[in-house]
Structure 1
Amino acid sequence: MRGLDDFLAECDHGPRINELTGFFASTAAGESGMPIRRPVVDPRLLPSNRLLRKLVDLHAARQGFFDRHYHGSIPYRLEEECRMAYAVLKYARHRSEPLSLYSLGTAEGTMARTLSELSEGQIRSLSCSPNAENYKCFMAYGEPPAAEFFIGPFHRLTKDVLASDARLAKFATGFDVILEDTTFQMYSPNRARQVEFVVQHLKEGGIFVFVEKFRAVDDNDYIRREHQKDFGFKARYFPQNEIEKKKASVLATMFNNEVTLEAMSHAVGAHFKHCVMTWNSGNFCSLAASNSRSNLDRYLSHMEAPAIPHEYVYESSLSQPCERFGRRANALRVETQTHGPA
């Protein structure tokens, strides 16, 4: 990777592990930022089938403190996490060998752990977080089978670290699926280098999923969506004074590290031929990218319909399912050829 030392230094100075350390540590420990009620999946928004209900129930049973804060902060992110986990679970079941999943920066790694448990080892997962408090929540229900945890920021998990750690060596050959969950925006707006660094861990033909908060083309649109999030959703879980406090102490810093969808498209397109938007909630979007069209097609074919009320979806011009997948595709954006290698 070009300028690796400069990139690592940039990450070392990022707000996630500097000025925001206190917020993440206290929230992960359950000492602050806890919602007045625990977020739960709205069963009306997800299909009713036995496997999905089993996943939702286990996911709820394995959640830690930070998850409660996170899922009470982003409209219908909990439902989307279960929808995405269900797609990964179904995707893994059609493979002849175990699937390796890397979930970077996802607090206590609830989704990854749930998938490893529910799949009975067919999904081998690795989660990472700089906070030992998140690791404590990860281990609160006993040592999980086929799920590992790296205590440290994403940029310190290198191939050398994987190869030299007895617990992690099984991941040294790479991952079939990587999930970046609102992590990059906590360090810098340098998506080109961030994607370049993490993509080294992805196997050929693997799928890279990004969940991020994006800047809108129109600042007024961004603000309106924030108001909808704060007053239409977050107010169910947090007092208004706490919402305003977080906005001043955390979100203002995070905003400086957000990018537009266009900028993200260029960063992703430098490495992937195919990219699909699979979810949109206000200023948040989820993208799935791969150089294998067949693998991406297969993953998308297992996704149920987006579990979110229409009023939170703003990519309306892109909201029709992909024709070539039929009605089961349920992606919010037709696949587009990006700028990646032919």
Structure 2
Amino acid sequence: MRGLDDFLAECDHGPRINGLAGFFAATAAGKSGMPMRKPVADARLLPSDELLRGLVSLHAARQGFFDQHYHGSIPYRLEEECRMAYAVLKYAHHRDAPLSLYSLGTAEGTMARTLSELSEGQIRTLSCSPNAENYTSFMAYGEPPHADFFIGPFHKLTKDVLGSDPRLANFAHGFDIILEDTTFQMYSPNRASQIEFVIQHLKQDGIFVFVEKFRAAEEPDYRRREYQKDFGFKARYFPPDEIEKKQSLVLDTMFGNEVTLAQMADAIRAHFSYCSLTWNSGNFCSLAASNSEENLNRYLSQMATPAIPHEYVYEASLYPTLPVSRAAAQE
């Protein structure tokens, strides 16, 4: 990777592990930012399926402190996480070999751990977070089989680390799926270099899933979607003073590191031939990209209909610079 030293220095100075470090540590420890009630997935929006019900139940049982804050903050993100995990679980069932998944910066790694437990080793996962408090939550129910955790920011997890740590040796040959969950936006708007750094861990035919908050093409649209999130959803879990506090402490800083969907498309296009927008909630979107059209289509074909009320959906497709798979077009 060209300019690696500059990129690593950029990450070292990112808000996530500097100005916002205290917020993330306190929230991960349950000392602040806790919702008034624990978010629960709305079963009415999800398919009636025994495998999915088991996944939702185990996911709820394994959640730690930060997940409760996170799922109470983003409209229907909990339902989407369960929908995504369900698709990964079914995708793995169609494979002969075990699937490896890297959950990048996803707090206590609830989804990854749940997948490893339910699949009984068919899915081997690695989660990472800079906060030891998240590792404590990860280990709260005992050491999970087939799931590992790296304590540190994403840019500290290098091929050398994977190859030298006996616990992580199974991942040294790369991952079949990588999930970046609202992580890049906590460091910088440099999506091109962030993606370039992380894809060193992705297998050639692997799938990269991005969940991020995006700037809208028009600033008033962004603000309206934020109002909808805060007062139409988030107010169910947090009092007004908590919502205002997070806005000034975290979200204003994060805004400077967000990009538009068009900018994200350009960054993805530099590395992937196929991409599809799979979910939208206000200013948040999820994208899945790969250089294997077959694998991407297979993954997308396992996804149930997005579990979110239509009034939160504003984006129907990714900025039209990348081929969109047939499966996604039918969704």
Task: Output aligned runs, 1:93-242, within 5 Å.
Answer: 93-242=93-242
Q: Structure 1: which 5+ runs fail to align?
A: 331-342
2:19 alignment counterpart: 19
Task: Output aligned runs, 1:77-92, within 5 Å.
Answer: 77-92=77-92
SS in 2 for 1:168: helix
Given residue 104 of structure 2, which amino acid in structure 1 is its aligned partner?
Answer: L
1:121/1:323 CA distance change after superposition, 3 Å: closer
SS in 2 for 1:287: strand
SS in 1 for 2:43: coil
Alpha-carbon offset, residue 325 of structure 1? 3.3
Residues of 2 paired with 1:204 and 1:118: CA distance?
26
2:29 alignment counterpart: 29
Residues of 1 paired with 2:315 and 2:131: CA distance?
34
2:44 alignment counterpart: 44
* Superposed CA RMSD: 1.3
Does the 8 Å contact 2:293/2:325 carry over to 1?
no
1:325 alignment counterpart: 327
1:156/1:132 CA distance change after superposition, 3 Å: same
Residues of 2 paired with 1:245 and 1:99: CA distance?
40
TM-score normalised over the length of structure 2: 0.97
1:197/1:54 CA distance change after superposition, 3 Å: same
2:301 alignment counterpart: 301
Residues of 1 paired with 2:40 and 2:123: CA distance?
25
1:71/1:9 CA distance change after superposition, 3 Å: same
Residues of 2 paired with 1:223 and 1:137: CA distance?
34
Deviations 1:191-230 (A, max 9, x none): 0000000011000110000000000010000000000000
Alpha-carbon offset, residue 19 of structure 1? 0.3
Residues of 2 paired with 1:2 and 1:281: CA distance?
35
Alpha-carbon offset, residue 324 of structure 1? 3.9
Residues of 2 paired with 1:276 and 1:325: CA distance?
9
Alpha-carbon offset, residue 315 of structure 1? 1.5
Given residue 221 of structure 1, which amino acid in structure 2 is its aligned partner?
Answer: D
1:281 alignment counterpart: 281
Alpha-carbon offset, residue 118 of structure 1? 0.2
Aligned residues: 326
Give the percent of matched residue pairs that are identical in Structure 1 and Structure 2.
79
Residues of 1 paired with 2:3 and 2:302: CA distance?
39
1:59 alignment counterpart: 59
Residues of 1 paired with 2:205 and 2:142: CA distance?
33
Residues of 2 paired with 1:323 and 1:294: CA distance?
9
Alpha-carbon offset, residue 316 of structure 1? 4.5
Residues of 2 paired with 1:144 and 1:155: CA distance?
24
Deviations 1:233-292 (A, max 9, x none): 000000000000000000000000000001100111100000000000000000000000
Residues of 2 paired with 1:316 and 1:116: CA distance?
32
2:321 alignment counterpart: none
SS in 2 for 1:167: helix
2:261 alignment counterpart: 261
Residues of 1 paired with 2:215 and 2:50: CA distance?
38
SS in 1 for 2:101: strand
Q: Structure 2: which 5+ runs fail to align?
A: 319-323
Residues of 1 paired with 2:328 and 2:151: CA distance?
42
Residues of 2 paired with 1:324 and 1:115: CA distance?
27
- Structure 1: 4+ residue segments shifted above 2 A: 322-327
Given residue 116 of structure 2, which amino acid in structure 1 is its aligned partner?
Answer: S
